[in-house]
């Protein structure tokens, strides 16, 4: 079960619980890129949907996944909420 479709099917069995980590401090408050930590040992990133055909063609995006863009200033949030990461 390594592909995104299998992961999504497996995860549908239980509800995902999100913990808000941070919003982009440089964006409008109603549509900001946002970072969440899940109870599954993963991250959820809200960002701008990548629609550029050349960029999408350069990636191998499997069914069940998509690409979003976030600004560099969002990287500060990935250190927060990571204390429970498996090492």
From CA 19, how far away is CA 42, in angstroms rounded?
11
Q: How confident is the model at residue 5 (pLDDT cuts 50, 70, 90)?
A: low
pLDDT tens sequence across 36-76? 999 999 999 999 999 999 999 999 999 999 999 999 989 88
From CA 20, how far away is CA 7, in angstroms rounded?
22
pLDDT at 16 over 70: yes
Asked whether the whole model's pTM tops 0.75, one would answer no
Beta bridge partners of 36: 20, 44
DSSP letter assigned to residue 53:
H
Helix (H) or strand (E) holding 22: strand 18-23
């Amino acid at each position: 079960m390594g592909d995104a479709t299998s992961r999504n099917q497996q995860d549908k069995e239980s509800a995902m619980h999100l913990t808000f980590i941070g919003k982009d401090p440089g964006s409008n408050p109603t549509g900001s890129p946002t970072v969440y930590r899940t109870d599954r040992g993963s991250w959820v990133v809200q960002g701008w949907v990548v629609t550029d055909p050349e960029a999408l063609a350069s990636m191998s995006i499997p069914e069940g996944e998509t690409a979003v863009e976030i600004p560099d200033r969002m990287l500060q949030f990935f250190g927060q909420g990571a204390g429970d990461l498996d090492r």
